[in-house]
């Protein structure tokens, strides 16, 4: 087993986790992606057992409680997955001198800043999900000095549920969709996040002095949810898929249990400088996802 480089990927069935498994890794790298039943992040016993059977060279924690609205009424469960889980992984990795990469979120910010957020801007989550993810960031950073926290936002892929797939599903029945246009963010491909995580993991494995700390990774450019929906339908219609007109509405007309930050835009200079990762524009990334769904015969 020792001639291979073993990497533990949690959340392997999620959007980002699936793309990590689909990515091309160098020869000799073996990804281990146990299901939630095999490795429950909230169980110290479960995590210990995983580390006892395999000498991991790195851990990428892409598992999380991602149900933002449900977190408001199930805070204990959200904190267990998003804060206790990273704390347990940080303990297990630090004890073995192994790097930990913790995926986090724009929701650690309150969204009141007028400009895009840098890594060192003050945090201030406005919901339980964001608070639980912030606790996870702190646990990873304090628990393992060889950790990277990678914040991302507005994650899209051809898998699981996300905004892009919801828009296409709704457009099958409705000619006009009312979509929030007063929240700004950076739509981001799960595949591109996986590539960034791969680059960071391989560098951290190869170089004990590799940079640590908090990084932002989102695709380039910015959009409101309504802008994103319009681009999704433009691309979908161009490949003979569904189309709907998009009517922009304020968030006040689409009440949800959890408030969302008005500004979710993240700066990515630091990851460019330290890891030479330069995100492509979000429209290119969305076009690839629509093309993937079209190739699958899905309703794009
Ligand atoms: N989605 C977004 O828009 C977004 C935005 C910003 C940041 N992020 C962050 O990006 C990361 C990846 O998100 P994603 O969209 O890929 O998430 P996702 O599709 O919802 O997948 C999450 C994965 O975590 C697993 N999981 C949840 N609780 C677990 C536990 N206790 N033990 C083990 N596994 C558990 C889930 O297992 P099951 O398959 O059994 O459900 C699932 O495979 C997360 O850290 C998330 O906070 C996401």
User: Which tokens hold the place of 253?
Assistant: 């007309």
pLDDT band at 3 (very low <50, low <70, confident <90, very high): confident
pLDDT exceeds 60 at position 282:
yes
> What residues are labeled active site?
129
d(Cα 197, Cα 284) in Å, to the nearest integer? 19
User: Residue 254 — very low, low, confident or very high, per pLDDT cuts 50/70/90?
Assistant: confident
Tokens of 272: 């460019």
Q: State the closest ligand 1 atom to the C-alpha of 12, by its place in the atom list counted from 1.
A: 43
How far, in Å, is the centroid of ligand 1 from the Cα of 184?
22
Q: Where are the beta strands (DSSP E) in 106-190?
A: 147-152, 155-156, 176-180, 184-185, 188-189
Q: Would you say residue 171 has pLDDT above 80? A: yes
Encoded tokens for 284: 């290119």
CA of 68 to the centre of ligand 1 (A): 11
Q: Give residue 299's pLDDT band: very low, low, confident or very high (50, 70, 90).
A: low
- What proportion of the chain, given as a percentage, has pLDDT over 90? 96
The answer, yes or no, to whether any atom of ligand 1 lies below 6 A from the CB of 215, is no
In which band, very low, low, confident or very high, does the pLDDT at 297 lie, cut at 50, 70 and 90?
confident
> What's the confidence (pLDDT) of residue 2?
60
Which residues, 6 or more positions from 50, have their beta carbon under 8 angstroms from its beta carbon?
8, 32, 34, 39, 56
pLDDT tens track for 103-159: 999 999 999 999 999 999 999 999 999 999 999 999 999 999 999 999 999 999 999
Per-residue burial over 36-51, b if 16 or more Cβ lie within 10 Å, else e, is beebbbbeeebbeebb
The reply to whether ligand 1 has any atom less than 6 angstroms from the CB of 188 is no
- Give the residue among 233, 228, 190, 246 at the shortest CA–CA distance from 60: 190
| Ramachandran assignment for 125, one of left (phi > 0), alpha (psi -120 to 50 degrees), beta (any other) | beta
Task: Report the nearest-CA residue for atom 34 of ligand 1.
Answer: 36
Ligand 1 contact, 266 CB (< 6 A)? no
Strands (E), the chain: 5-10, 29-32, 56-61, 100-105, 147-152, 155-156, 176-180, 184-185, 188-189, 213-216, 223-224, 245-249
Q: Tell me the CA–centroid distance for residue 284 and ligand 1, in Å.
A: 24
Q: What is the pLDDT of residues 70-99, one digit of tens each?
A: 999 999 999 999 999 999 999 999 999 999
Task: For residue 80, give the ligand 1 atom closest to its CA.
Answer: 31
Q: Is 133 in the pocket of ligand 1 (CB under 6 A)?
A: yes
- The pLDDT tens digits for 191-250 are 999 999 999 999 999 999 999 999 999 999 999 999 999 999 999 999 999 999 999 999
Q: Is the CB of 152 under 6 A from ligand 1?
A: yes
Atom of ligand 1 nearest to the CA of 17: 16
Place of tokens 């990497």: 7
Report how far apart, in Å, the C-alpha atoms of 89 and of each of 63, 138, 150 are: 11, 12, 15
Question: Is the CB of 61 within 6 Å of ligand 1?
Answer: no
pLDDT digits (tens, 9 = 90+) for 176-206: 999 999 999 999 999 999 999 999 999 999 9
Asked if 59 contacts 89 with a C-beta cutoff of 8 angstroms, the reply is: yes
Average pLDDT, the chain: 96
Average pLDDT over residues 8-23: 97
Rounded to whole angstroms, the maximal C-alpha distance in the chain is: 57
């Amino acid at each position: 087993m020792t001639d291979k480089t073993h990497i533990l990927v949690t959340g392997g069935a999620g959007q980002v986790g699936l793309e990590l498994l689909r990515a091309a890794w160098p020869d000799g790298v073996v990804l281990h992606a146990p299901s939630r039943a095999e490795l429950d992040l909230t169980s110290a016993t479960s995590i210990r057992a995983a580390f006892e059977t395999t000498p991991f060279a790195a851990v990428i924690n892409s598992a999380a409680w991602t149900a933002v609205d449900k977190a408001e009424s199930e805070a204990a469960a959200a904190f267990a997955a998003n804060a206790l889980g990273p704390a347990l992984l940080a303990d297990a990795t630090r004890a073995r001198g192994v790097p930990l990469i913790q995926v986090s979120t724009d929701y650690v910010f309150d969204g009141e800043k007028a400009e895009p957020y840098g890594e060192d801007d003050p945090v201030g989550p406005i919901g339980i999900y964001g608070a639980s993810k912030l606790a996870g960031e702190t646990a990873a950073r304090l628990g393992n000095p060889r950790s990277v926290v990678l914040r991302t936002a507005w994650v899209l892929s051809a898998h699981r549920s996300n905004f892009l797939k919801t828009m296409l599903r709704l457009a099958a029945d409705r000619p006009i969709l009312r979509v929030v246009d007063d929240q700004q963010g950076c739509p981001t491909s799960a595949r591109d996040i996986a590539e960034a995580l791969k680059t960071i993991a391989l560098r951290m494995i190869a170089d004990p002095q590799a940079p640590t700390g908090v990084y932002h990774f989102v695709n380039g450019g910015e959009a409101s949810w309504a802008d994103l929906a319009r681009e999704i339908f433009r691309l979908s219609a161009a490949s003979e898929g569904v189309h709907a007109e998009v009517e922009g509405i304020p968030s006040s007309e689409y009440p949800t249990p959890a408030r969302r930050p008005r500004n979710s835009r993240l700066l990515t200079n630091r990851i460019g400088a330290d890891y030479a990762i330069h995100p492509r524009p979000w429209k290119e990334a969305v076009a690839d996802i629509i093309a993937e769904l079209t190739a699958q015969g899905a309703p794009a």
